[in-house]
A and B are shown apart, each in its own frame.
Chain A
Amino acid sequence: MLRTICGPILVVLLSVTVAAAQPVNRDGQGAKRAASGQRVTSAGKRLANEFSGKGPKIGDLLPDVTVYDADGKEFKLRQVKGHYTVIVSGCLT
């Protein structure tokens, strides 16, 4: 399956316009991609800069936010504990 459910349009994904600016705290993948010659767009840079300065950091707890499950029942994000958990955000477009 593909890398994102809410990223740029398919063609943009293939043209690697925004992926080049991906900052990855854990593995430094953004630098690796930039070094490979992929284009870094201004939109990608902006997103990367915004993301690097916002949101939780490594070692932080998840935000204390209540969202909903697929049936509309409240779901506290911080109840996610006791095992390793992957959280990916996305949408239909």
Chain B
Amino acid sequence: LETVCHDYAPKGVEFFYVYKALAHPETNGYVTPFTLAERLMQVKEAERRLGSKFTWLCDTMSNDLKHALGNAPNSEFVVDPEGKIVVRRLWSDPDQLRKDLASLVGAVDPPTPVSALHLNIVPPPKVAARGVVPRLKVPGPTKPLIIHPRESKTPYYAKLRAEVDEGYLKTGKGKLYIGFHMDPIYRVHWNNLAAPVHFELTPPRGVAITPTSGDGPKVKEPADIDPREFLLDIEGKEATQPIQLTVRYFACNDDEGWCRPVTQTYTIDLAVDPDGGWASARHRRPPSKGNRSGARGARPGRPGVRPPGGRGPAQLMARIRANDKNHDGKITRDEASPMLKRFFDRIDADRNGAITREEVREFIKNRGPSDSTPRP
């Protein structure tokens, strides 16, 4: 997409990214912002990580533009000089966009390759240890609830995410997920030398929640950024009032040299937040015995036998290598599937126009456990 911008901006085409509500909160640690200022900080973070030449816009906190454009997470529109829409897509498609613009304003030939732009995608920040507190296993699909952080002079360094499972939504009896996630835009971490995170909640009349308080784990590492998560039992849907929740924790910012206690309160509506996104990273299936990749559909106890369509590194490697149609050990751009073409320049580290097994392995290794590196 950046190459399309590079080629067609000189022809008078203007390019905007609209930064909107997170589609997959928790991926790479990013969490739903509570204020416009925080969403704008995420825009700056996206600019910093991508080095994009697009002009960035930021949707309102009530997600007006997302709703007005049809609620798609990655839609794409082309507007003519009169302001009328001439192209609309559910998902951005740079190849097709290039063809569209060629028909509208004339082709750019040859197109600029991604390698010519020397784009430098910066990894997400990691201010402290990660992976020291095991993630909570949440059974089945869940839906985010609408939460209201109370006004606080202290930023919400740790942000609450609350979800209920389908059992609760269908029958009024199920599970309530409560997670406190350190917001990476503040470059903060938990202070594990102090008391662990503690929460207390008050259910509304007609709703029972068990337990109503909890403490995070004691962690040996002095600092980390893993979420503190709790799975509670919840029963009763006839609430007219929200859940009240108070959380206490200690946060530190090493760059600014402070550690401080924080107490913050929320109300939680027992209503699904349609703009809350889906925490896909949390719902990924854990590794099973004999299948270190944890791929969906893999058979426990049969290492090396992994059906296609899984999501682990081995499956990813197999799927990418399946593009090697002439079996010469390399995948050229012509051989690559449309989907692989979108990743081609990130995988082709030496920019020689062919992907080798080693480059695929390096790409998979570097993408991290839940990489969704922002991609213009």
Contact = CB atoms under 8 A, between A and B. Distances in A.
Interface of A: 1-16, 18-19, 21-27, 29-30, 33, 39, 47-48, 50-51, 54-63, 65-72, 75, 77-78, 80-93
A58 B88 CA distance: 7
Nearest to B79: A85
Most B CB contacts (10 A, CB to CB) among A1, A72, A75, A91 go to A91
A84 B79 CA distance: 6
Interface string B43-57: 111110110001111
Nearest to B65: A65
A51 B22 contact: no
Most A CB contacts (10 A, CB to CB) among B47, B76, B284, B372 go to B372
Contacts of B101: 84, 86
Contact of B2 (A1, A8, A19, A58): A1
Interface string B275-319: 001001100100000000000000000000000010100001001
A60 B78 CA distance: 11
Interface in B10-38: 12-28, 30, 36-37
Given A3-B1, A67-B65, A84-B79, A89 B73 contact: yes
Given A10-B371, A48-B90, A89 B20 contact: yes
Interface in B145-161: none
A70 to B, nearest CB: 4
A15 B319 contact: yes
Contacts, number: 307
Q: Determine the interface band of chain B, counting residues with CB < 8 A from chain A.
A: 35 or more
B16 A6 contact: no
Given A1-B3, A14-B319, A70-B47, A88 B71 contact: no
B364 to A, nearest CB: 9
B73 A7 contact: yes
B42 interface: yes
Contact of B339 (A6, A14, A26): A14
B60 A92 contact: no
B81 interface: yes
Nearest to B77: A87
B16 A87 contact: yes
6 contacts: A13-B339, A47-B72, A88-B16, A89-B65, A91-B19, A92-B46
Nearest to A71: B40
A88 B373 contact: no
Interface string B349-376: 0000000000000000001001111111
B88 A57 contact: yes
Contacts of A1: 1-3, 94, 114, 119, 345-346, 375-376
B23 A7 contact: yes
* Secondary structure dominating the interface of A: loop
Nearest to B104: A84
A89 B96 contact: no
Nearest to B121: A1
A54 B284 CA distance: 30
Given A13-B339, A85-B79, A25 B88 contact: yes
Nearest to B19: A91
Contact of A14 (B25, B58, B88, B316): B316
B275 to A, nearest CB: 11
Contacts of A51: 70-72, 75, 90
Given A1-B94, A90-B20, A12 B280 contact: yes
A5 B78 contact: no
Contacts of A80: 14, 16, 79, 83
A6 B281 CA distance: 14
B367 A10 contact: yes
B79 A91 contact: no
Given A22-B89, A89-B74, A91-B22, A83 B319 contact: no
Contacts of B316: 11, 14
